[in-house]
Amino acid sequence: MPKMTPQMLEAFIKSDFPEVAHVGYKVSELTDRSITVTIETSESDLRPGGTVSGPTMMSLVDLTMYLLLLAQIGPVALAVTTNLNINFLRKPNPGKLRGEGRLLKLGKSLATGDVSLYSEGVSEPVAHATVTYAIPPAKNT
């Protein structure tokens, strides 16, 4: 069972990541192996033509994997992204953007997962990414 609930994860973003809190991440369908994180894109996330910008998609990918990891190990550790590989597949629409994360490996020092991004009104994934986080060694006390 995850160590953190969706509500705990949302509260953690607000307290520890004030600079992205305004994005309004919503966490749902959290299990030991998977998570869904949804945002509502705003004007500043859009590119000319009304499509969602790459950086907005990469941010959601990174945060989806981060929250999936924190849910398993708890908010104590300071994990950092070491590798992110993303394929942009289709043009997203403005509106809701949804990241579906899946944990592929939770090791002692590395965690790897993949994230599929879905856009409101597009049935196939608009992007797919794999992400690896390094987990710092637990401090002995």
Binding site for a copy of itself (CB under 8 A): 16-17, 19, 43-44, 46-48, 53-55, 58-59, 62, 80-90, 104-105, 109-110, 112, 114, 116, 124-125, 128, 130, 132, 134
> What sign for the dihedral angle of Cα 123, 92, 85, 10?
negative
In the complex, the smallest distance separating the C-beta of residue 68 from a copy of itself, rounded to whole angstroms, is 15
Classify residue 97 by burial, with Cβ atoms within 10 Å: 0-12, 13-18, 19+: buried
In the complex, the smallest distance separating the C-beta of residue 141 from a copy of itself, rounded to whole angstroms, is 20
In the complex, the smallest distance separating the C-beta of residue 44 from a copy of itself, rounded to whole angstroms, is 6
Name which of 34 and 53 has its Cβ closer to a copy of itself: 53
In the complex, the smallest distance separating the C-beta of residue 14 from a copy of itself, rounded to whole angstroms, is 13
Token pair, residue 102, equals 């899946």
In the complex, the smallest distance separating the C-beta of residue 111 from a copy of itself, rounded to whole angstroms, is 10
